[in-house]
Amino acid sequence: MKTDFLTKYSSKVTGTISCIDRIIISGTLSRWGYSHEMQSYLFTNNIRVFDFPKFGKECNDQIRNQVESIAKQNNVAIEHIRSPQKFNKELNIKKIIEERGNHPGIVHIYTSMEITDSYMPHYDKATNKATLKIRTTKCSHYYIYFIDKYLGLGFLRIPTWLPCRVQFYFNGHNYLAYKLQKNNIDFEMQDNVFTKISDYQKAQKLSDNLRAEDLHQWLDKIISQYIPFLEQTSQVYRWTLTQTEYSTDIIFKNPEYFKVLYEEIILKSIHSVKPENIATFFSRKLAANYTQEVGTKYNKQIQGTRIKHFMGANNIKMYDKANNVLRVETTVNNITEFKVFREVLTQTGQSVKKFASMKKSIYSLHDLTKLCQSSNARYLDFISSFEDNSQGMKNLQKISRKETDNNRSYREFNFFNENDAEILTALMSGEFNINGFRNKNLRENKILKNKYSSAQMSRIIKRLHVFGLIKKIKNSFKYYLTKFGKKVITAGLIVKEFNIIPALAK
């Protein structure tokens, strides 16, 4: 990926990697996924519509027996959660993995009562026919957490009542880690972020090579273990994209530099990104008739800070990871808001190619990742236009914190402290710029007027030297201001005299 941001900070960056992060895929039964399909199946197999509850109960029992059998075979307990909203499954799974290790297999199984869609027999008096109607109800859901050899940690969410619409989750960084190992590419990883990769170009090629066909095979193989009636009823699952996160990680060489830069970028993003900018990140225009919400949210979390720019159901986030990684991430909750050039079937039955909403099928994954990568690049180009004042912040912090030299502590400099301000102002005197100064010269300066003794001034000079504001001339007792010293003192005095004092006077 080539962006203005990477060009601007190329000397500060180790590498960059773009990858699918969190992805949730939903599965719908090919013959029972919708009420008219279920009704057609019942009719074909001579099952009365009002016998559907009995038929559904048989399928429910098959799923329960299968999951319980697999749990017993793998010596895994099924834990019931009474309050799903208050229970953190991911945190608990993390603790279990710390005990069991990262080897492939089932990690844990949860079950809880949750709302789901179901079918209800209905008699229509007008047509004198029995039909199935969709309704919401509560049923048991299984959350089967497992570690796959290829996909790493993931989970299956399986409702026990028809139409049994399942969900599958995994993290693309784990899959990329498997590919890197297979191709003998060294890397270091913390949680779901790469902090070091020996060959970023090869890693990016591997990341771009996630095939929907392979994913489809894995999904079919995994789900067939838990849904017994798939083979009996000659049907498969249709897989669609429910949520996709695509991240671009920029790994910086120096964590301290990154920390200062990130804080500045976050602050400027809060004030600079407007709704019309957010639309351009998604390659769209903010039309006058657009009714969905567009805006920016800033959050402070335990792991760090995060800024999120959202347009409708989709958003772009930026946050820090692992102390030295800047992550920009596009999250797609509604894939149909993206448009691609594809074949479309018209009302006349003709097939034409034109720009149309992207299909929800997992076979749209390749096109979607390309569009998300472009969204991340446009956002990075936008923040690269911010003026970089990170070095100024770093310099300010350098003189605003206590320093230690030979186990002796030296207090920071304060432009609002009368004594510090006088010393710093005296150092900027014109006579010192060419010839430097000695202890006596500084004491007798017209600003200080012999306010300090020789011993006191020696300690002050030592303090200035420790903070890097002055440097000693070799083989002499003379000192001169460093470039850093001139920059810091000039900036501090200008801001104080021309901005802060006038503002306070008003």
Contact present, 470 and 463 (Cβ < 8 Å): no
Q: Do residue 396 and residue 296 come from a single domain?
A: no
Q: Do residue 356 and residue 436 come from a single domain?
A: no
Assigned domain for 189 exists: no
Q: Do residue 348 and residue 430 come from a single domain?
A: no
Q: Do residue 275 and residue 376 come from a single domain?
A: yes
Assigned domain for 161 exists: yes
Assigned domain for 195 exists: no
Domain that holds residue 282: 251-385
Q: Domain count of the chain?
A: 3
Assigned domain for 187 exists: no
Question: What's the CA gap between 87 and 244, in Å, rounded?
Answer: 24
pLDDT value for 477: 87
How many alpha carbons fall within 13 Å on the CB side of residue 402?
Answer: 6
Q: Do residue 224 and residue 91 come from a single domain?
A: yes
Q: Do residue 370 and residue 409 come from a single domain?
A: no
Assigned domain for 459 exists: yes
Assigned domain for 458 exists: yes
pLDDT value for 222: 93
Assigned domain for 24 exists: no
Q: Do residue 274 and residue 226 come from a single domain?
A: no
Three-state SS at 360: coil
pLDDT value for 239: 97
Q: Do residue 400 and residue 379 come from a single domain?
A: no
Last residue of a domain, one of 369, 385, 401: 385
Assigned domain for 296 exists: yes
Question: What's the CA gap between 440 and 420, in Å, rounded?
Answer: 18
Last residue of a domain, one of 348, 370, 385: 385
Please report, for the domain that includes residue 489, its CATH number: 1.10.10.10
Burial of 149: CB neighbours in 10 Å, binned 0-12, 13-18, 19+:
exposed
Q: Do residue 368 and residue 403 come from a single domain?
A: no
Three-state SS at 365: helix
- Alpha-helical regions (H) of 225-364: 229-232, 255-272, 275-281
Preceding amide of 255 cis, omega within 30 = no
Last residue of a domain, one of 219, 239, 259: 239
How many alpha carbons fall within 13 Å on the CB side of residue 117?
Answer: 12
Q: Do residue 376 and residue 474 come from a single domain?
A: no
Q: Do residue 379 and residue 397 come from a single domain?
A: no
Contact present, 38 and 235 (Cβ < 8 Å): no
Which CA distances in Å does 500 have to 301, 328, 496? 33, 36, 5
Between the CA atoms of 471, 477, 478 and 479, what dihedral angle is there, to the nearest 10 degrees?
A: 20
Instruction: Report CA Rg, the chain.
Output: 32
Q: Do residue 360 and residue 309 come from a single domain?
A: yes
Q: Which parts of the chain have pLDDT scores under 50?
A: none
Cβ neighbours for 453, distance < 8 A, ≥ 6 positions apart: none
pLDDT value for 390: 61
- Closest listed residue to residue 29, CA positions, set 121, 120, 162, 136: 162
- For the chain, count helices (H), then strands (E): 18, 19
3-state helix, strand, coil in the chain (%, to 5): 40, 30, 25
